[in-house]
Structure 1
Amino acid sequence: MTMLILGLVLFLGIHCTGFAPAWRDRQVARFGANGWKGLYSLVALAGFVLIIWGFQQARLNPVLLYTPPVWMGHLNALFTLIAFILLAAAYVPGNRIHAKLGHPMVAGTKIWALGHLLSIGFLRDVVLFGAFLVWAIVAFARLRRRDRARGVSPAPGTLKGDVITVVVGVVAWALFAFWLHGPLIGVRPFG
């Protein structure tokens, strides 16, 4: 569990540097723009690797905290579908989902983490998804507050952008849920 927690601290910690723009700007000045991006990427990658390794190690000694009802797994599938659509909204240009939320990837992270917390009751999952949920709640609030203070609003979207976003999100979700989740994560959500 130690490696999982260390990985979360590194990965989510480096993703919190945007909450302290003055500190981040000092680091960019210190290392240069490319140097900071390289350091940021290196810390994020190290954190990600530690999360994967730590989670796999935690699977060896499972600690069950609660047993969710079976229907929570179905709810999690719906939450994850919505999260994939929100993830697509962060990248597909000209959609109204991005225009409305401002930070759809962070909103998707909240929904993804909440769905997994509700449907899986092992300690390792509570640590992993709980950490991502707390980070996403804080990040979303901070980013929205920052955008309001700066008067920033995303460009308005179109129906065409919305349709493309939903199609991309649904296709990505289906590929991941039906074919990739099992080999990559070790759990087949749909048998």
Structure 2
Amino acid sequence: MSVLVLGLILFLGLHSIRIFANDWRNRQIARVGLKPWKGVFAIGAIIGLVLIIWGFGLARQHPVLIYAPPEWLRHLNGLFMLVALILFFAARVPGNHFKAKLGHPQVLAVKTWSFGHLLATGMLHDLVLFVPFLIWSIVLFAVSRRRDRLDGTTYPAGTLKGDIVAVVMGVAVWALFAFWLHSLLIGVNPMN
């Protein structure tokens, strides 16, 4: 479990700099430049992600049941994942109403992903993984929306084309994960 926790501290810690130390971040970018900052950040984030994946795999070898969710919550998680993946792609597809209205759909995707998985799973290692991501995404979304209001940030208007592209991409990747990749990569068939 310690490898998982270390990975979470590194990954979420780096991704929390804008929440807790945005002025410091801006000073560092001004001092070293944007590209070197992004390079160091990316290396740290990749190391954190690798530790999370490795640590989660190790923790799964020693399962500790905290609660047993009813079967229907596993199926409800499929709906949460569909929404999460649409939001994930909405963060990347230009000119969609999700981004225009929500501002930070990727953060909401993380919130939806982690909340859905907390409903559907009940092992200690699941809680250790998903609770920090849920808390982080709630805090980051609130801080980001407040920053947008203070800075007067507005997002480009959405179009039907942008919405369709985001939804189609989200549904396609959801189907790929639900029917194949989740079993292959995680070892759990979400459709059973």
Q: How would you bin the TM-score normalised by the shorter chain?
A: over 0.9
Q: Distance in 1 between matches of 2:180 and 2:160?
A: 30
Aligned ranges for residues 41-52 of structure 1 at < 5 Å?
41-52=42-53
Aligned to 1:58: 59
Q: Under a length normalisation based on structure 1, what TM-score does the superposition of the two structures give?
A: 0.97
Letter matched to residue 122 of structure 1: M
Q: Distance in 2 between matches of 1:101 and 1:78?
A: 19
Aligned to 2:12: 12
Aligned to 1:91: 92
Aligned to 1:170: 171
Shift of 1:33: 2.1
Shift of 1:151: 0.5
Q: Distance in 1 between matches of 2:36 and 2:88?
A: 28
Instruction: Number of aligned residue pairs: give it.
Output: 191
Aligned to 2:180: 179
Letter matched to residue 147 of structure 2: R
Q: Distance in 1 between matches of 2:30 and 2:149?
A: 26
Instruction: Give 5+ residue unaligned stretches, structure 2.
Output: none
Q: Distance in 2 between matches of 1:61 and 1:79?
A: 27
Instruction: Give 5+ residue unaligned stretches, structure 1.
Output: none
Shift of 1:31: 3.0
Aligned ranges for residues 63-74 of structure 1 at < 5 Å?
63-74=64-75
Is the 8 Å Cα contact of residues 86 and 171 (structure 2) preserved in structure 1?
yes
Aligned ranges for residues 29-178 of structure 1 at < 5 Å?
29-178=30-179
* Aligned Cα root-mean-square deviation (Å): 1.0
Shift of 1:29: 3.3
Q: Distance in 2 between matches of 1:183 and 1:21?
A: 38
Shift of 1:35: 1.7
Letter matched to residue 58 of structure 1: A
Q: Distance in 1 between matches of 2:171 and 2:140?
A: 25
Q: Distance in 2 between matches of 1:6 and 1:30?
A: 28
How far does the alpha carbon of each residue in 1:82-118 deviate from its partner, in whole angstroms, 9 at most, with x for none? 0000001001111101111000000011011000001
Higher mean C-alpha deviation, range 29-38 or range 15-24: 29-38
Q: Distance in 2 between matches of 1:26 and 1:160?
A: 39
Shift of 1:162: 1.1
Identity of aligned residues (%): 58
